[in-house]
Structure 1
Amino acid sequence: MRLGLAANQLHHAHADAALFRWLRASEAGIRELGLGLHAVGRTYDAILRSGHLEGYAPLRRYPYGREGGLMKLVAEVVGLGDERTLDGAIYLIDPVDPSSIFPEAVALKRQCVIHGKPFISTVATARDWIELERIHAGLRPDPGANEFHALETQTVALIAHDAMKPQMLAYAAEHFDVLSRFAHRVGTGTTGQRLNELAWSRGWPKDQPWVERFQSGPMGGDAQIADLVLERRCQRAIFFEDPHVARQHEADIQLLERAVTTRTDEAVCMTSPKVAARWADAVRRRAQA
């Protein structure tokens, strides 16, 4: 498995920056998995200077961003043959760095979503994903990842745009047991109502909402949930976006994404139904290990 890797400058500027916090927590798992990391220039250089992943052959250097490194990752997420196809991307985003909204940065996420591949933009998501893949590889659970699996203490946001609502309902139906473990579930207007109707049909008490409903997306629901993330009251977002349709409330969507990257060590975000399903399966397997 191979992932593109990039980090905005803030995230590798000092010894305790986000990139290095992730590597300290996950280097053993990266090595166990033999994970290929195709790192854009400055990110690669920072890893070498730090001493992390020393002698690790699957770490490869790509050009600097200004020389097209991030653009090459986008093309390889789409796929350029067996030797030049990435399985997803880790892009640790500084939400106030202008480069995070450059076309190649936006395209990297969009192509990951379109092709059902993981787009990982926070330290928490990167740590969670390494554990997910370790579990699927048959490895013993890492106690350092227990905090991400304490679902009974967490809140999850379940959000889907119009074209993705059927997929969210199908996902919730298939993984109702895992999602019901969360202490609290929140969602935006219509999606939340449909999820409640699904839960009631599955025997959830009809006088209790399974999902706490906020406003619809166009009326500010994304912004309301962003505030929960910023206040550390929402730890995970399962956010099925429609990458093909322009949305009038795009700024609200970006606000939620910026909130997630602001809380990079605490907030996990999954934007692909395929990745979310793989995570739910790993949750079950880990509980049985």
Structure 2
Amino acid sequence: MRIGLAANRLHHATEDAALFRWLRACESGIRDLQLDLHAVGRTHDAIVAAGMLGGYRGLKRYPYGREGGLMKLVAEVVGLEEDTRRLDGAIYLIDPVDPSSTFPEAVALKRQCVIHGKPFISTVASARDWIEQERVLAGLEPDPAADRFFSPEGQTLALIAHDAMKAAMLAFAGEHFDLLSRFARRVGTGTTGQRLNELAWSRGWPADTPWVHRYESGPLGGDAQIADRVLEKRCQRVVFFEDPHVARQHEADIQLLERAVTTVTDDAVCTTSPAMAQRWAEGMAARARRRTA
């Protein structure tokens, strides 16, 4: 599996920066999975300078961002003719106040991952969660250090979908209703929340009890309300089915939620496409089976 890797400057500036926290927690998983990490220049150099992933042949160096390194990752997520120039997803640890995180190549990297159903991972928590998910799906034993990411009973889950993606969200919730019902609390924005409640009531959820606590619709501030919960570490996981093909009138509100997730990088996991949500649900089920076997 080939994964693009980049981190904004803040996330590799000190010994305890986000990039290194992730590598310390997941180096064994990276080696177990034999991931090829295609790292943009400055990120690659920081890993080598820190003495991490020593001797690991799967670490590949790309040009610096200013020389087109991130642009090359975007092209390879889409896929080029050569088999060796095709990425299976990207880990981009974002500093929400770094202007480069809003450059066209950064936005395009996420958009193309979503379009092609590949993981786009922007927080330490998401990266740790994804590594453990892929380990378990590969048949490896669960890592107890990752238990907190797979214990929904104490967590709040946000379920959000753009208009064109609401049907996909309802289908996902219907297929994995029992899993999603294990969360201590579910929250959502206006219409999506109402339709999910109607689904839950049709499945036998008590009619006088909302399955999803509804905030305002996205354009009226629902994304901002959920962002506040994320920042207060009262919402640990966001499943956000984005429609990458349309201009969004409340773009600033959507960016606010995305920035909130990356602000609390160690505490919030974000999934941005139906394909990745399905993969996560499969990983949750596989890990639960192994823990009870």
Q: TM-score, normalised by structure 2?
A: 0.98
Please give the alpha-carbon distance, in whole angstroms, between the structure 2 residues aligned to 1:212 and 1:232.
17
What's the CA shift for 1:39?
0.0
Where 1:42 maps in the other structure, the secondary structure is helix
Alignment of 1:1-20 (within 5 A): 1-20=1-20
Q: Distance in 2 between matches of 1:131 and 1:142?
A: 7
Shift of 1:282: 0.9
State the 4+ residue runs in structure 1 displaced beyond 3 angstroms: none
Give the Cα–Cα distance (whole angstroms) in 2 for the partners of residues 285 and 207 of structure 1.
Answer: 33
1:45 lines up with 2:45 in the alignment:
yes
Residue identity opposite 1:60 in structure 2: K
Between the aligned partners of 1:281 and 1:177, the Cα distance in structure 2 is: 13
CA distance in 1, matches of 2:97, 2:281: 32
* Distance in 1, Cα, partners of 2:26 & 2:277: 20
Q: Which residues in structure 2 correspond to 1:179-190 (within 5 Å)?
A: 179-190=180-191
- In structure 2, runs of 5+ residues without a counterpart are none
The residue aligned with 2:207 is 206
Unaligned runs of 5+ in 1: none
Question: 1:281 Cα shift?
Answer: 1.0
Q: Which amino acid aligns with 1:45?
A: D
Structure 1 distance, partners of 2:84, 2:150, is 34
Distance 1:272 1:54 in 2: 33
Equivalent positions of 1:107-126 (< 5 A) are 107-126=108-127
Deviation track 1:49-101 (CA, whole Å, cap 9, x = no partner) reads: 11111111011000000000000000000000321110000000000000000
- Shift, 1:113, TM fit: 0.5
Report % sequence identity.
Answer: 78
Aligned to 1:91: 92
Deviation at 1:272, TM superposition (A): 1.2
Output aligned runs, 1:221-240, within 5 Å.
Answer: 221-240=222-241
- Kindly state the Cα deviation for residue 157 of structure 1 after the two structures are TM-superposed: 0.2
Taking the aligned partners of 1:135 and 1:169, their CA distance within structure 2 comes to 26
- 3-state SS of the aligned residue for 1:203? coil
Distance 2:52 2:84 in 1: 25
> Alpha-carbon deviations, 1:9-66, whole Å to 9, x = none?
0000010000000000000000000011000000000000111111110110000000
Alignment correspondent of 2:27 = 27
Report the counterpart of residue 106 of structure 2 in structure 1.
Answer: 105
- Paired with 1:218 and 1:252, the residues of 2 have a C-alpha distance of 7
Offset, 1:208: 0.4
Structure-1 separation of matches of 2:276 and 2:243: 15
> Which residue matches 1:241?
242
Structure 2: how far apart are the matches of 1:2 and 1:32?
A: 14
- Residue 110 of structure 1 aligns with an amino acid whose one-letter code is R
Q: In the aligned structure 1, how far is the partner of 2:175 from the partner of 2:167?
A: 12
1:216 corresponds to which residue? 217
Counterpart in the other structure of 1:259: 260
Deviations along 1:113-162, one digit per CA (max 9) or x if unpaired, are 00010000000000000001001100000001001011000000000000
Deviation of 1:283 after TM superposition, in Å, equals 0.6
